[in-house]
């Protein structure tokens, strides 16, 4: 999950997951993004080729009701935005991994996505879980 879209960190992370989308898919893992921005905000943002030179093909949820952020315990209630988090959920809805960072703390664009993939492979989650969902909130 990501906070508000108008930060330099969000597109870097989204592009990082997009870059590794094939590897996640090969391991049977679906990547789903989420932010507390609106659908229309996402639509305009993803159409901006200066920010996203290539199309983003994995889904990014508009969590304007905050139900997803709240369900994973990553909503900063007083600001109505989500902390930066990566959640791995198995097909039964069980959270297998949850990493949360403060809103203003960037995560390594080259490292976080790769480390998520490495964790999935090392834990055997990509095989044992069949189709997992990695939700970057």
**Residue appearing with tokens 């790769």:** 114
Q: Which of these is catalytic: 1, 3, 10, 60?
A: 10
* Contacts of residue 66, Cβ cutoff 8 Å, sequence gap at least 6: 36, 75, 80, 82
CB 82, CB 34: distance < 8 Å: yes
CA distance 91 to 85: 19
128 is catalytic: no
Q: Count CA atoms within 13 Å of residue 128 on its CB side.
A: 11
* Owner of token pair 């080259």: 110
Rounded CA separation 22/102 (Å): 28
Answer whether 113's CB lies under 8 Å from 17's CB. Answer: yes
Give the catalytic positions in this structure: 10
């Amino acid at each position: 999950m990501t906070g508000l879209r108008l930060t330099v960190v969000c597109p870097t992370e989204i592009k990082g997951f997009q870059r590794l989308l094939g590897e996640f898919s090969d391991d049977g893992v679906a990547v789903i993004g989420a932010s507390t921005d609106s659908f229309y905000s996402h639509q305009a943002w993803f159409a901006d080729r200066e920010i996203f030179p290539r199309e983003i093909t994995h889904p990014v949820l508009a969590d304007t009701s905050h139900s997803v952020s709240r369900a994973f315990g990553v909503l900063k209630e007083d600001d109505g935005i989500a902390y930066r988090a990566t959640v791995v959920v198995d097909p039964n809805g069980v959270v297998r991994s949850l990493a949360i960072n403060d809103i203003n703390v960037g995560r390594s664009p080259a490292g976080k996505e790769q480390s998520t993939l490495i964790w999935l492979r090392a834990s055997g989650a990509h095989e044992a879980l069949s189709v997992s969902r990695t939700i970057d909130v």
